[in-house]
Amino acid sequence: MNYKEIFETELKKNNLSWCQGQCKEYGSHKRGFVFWKDPVIHLDSSISTRNSLYRGLHEIGHKITGNKGRRFEREQNADNWAINTMKQYNIPIPRKARQGVKRYIKRMKRWGDNIQARGQ
């Protein structure tokens, strides 16, 4: 199974669909995002590398783990879900992407809950 097939399998298992940038919603499809009320992962990526799979699974993780807790906790939960899913498929976690998420979570902790995210 290739990375794209793994991503699509996880989407299907969790009743989610994938917008690859064709919609006109707010946000960077390149980075990826979700709206809590819609079962759609917005991500403009071919899901052909471990890094792009990790990013995609992180977005699925947001939908699976929900919109509970502080912002940095939601990021940690989505990240943990992505990591655990990649481990289930015996895929090594991309170090560079993992470090980026850790820095992002650290910024979220520093900023606090004052930042309003769209789609909530």
Domain ranges of the chain: 3-111
Q: Which CATH number fits the domain 3-111, given the four candidates 2.40.128, 2.60.120, 3.90.920, 3.30.2010? A: 3.30.2010
At 84-105, the pLDDT tens digits run 999 999 999 998 888 888 888 8
Cβ within 8 Å of residue 63, ≥6 positions away: 14, 16, 34, 39, 41
pLDDT at 70 over 90: no
Q: How far is CA 63 from the centre of its chain?
A: 8
When pLDDT is averaged across residues 66-73 and rounded to a whole number, the result is 87
Separation between Cα atoms, residue 36 and residue 62, nearest integer Å: 8
DSSP per-residue codes, 57-109: HHHHHHHHH-S-S-HHHHHHHHHHHHHHHHHHTT-PPPHHHHHHHHHHHHHHH
Output the average pLDDT for the chain: 87
Q: Taking the model in full, what pTM does it have? A: 0.85
Q: Residue 120: is its pLDDT beyond 50?
A: no
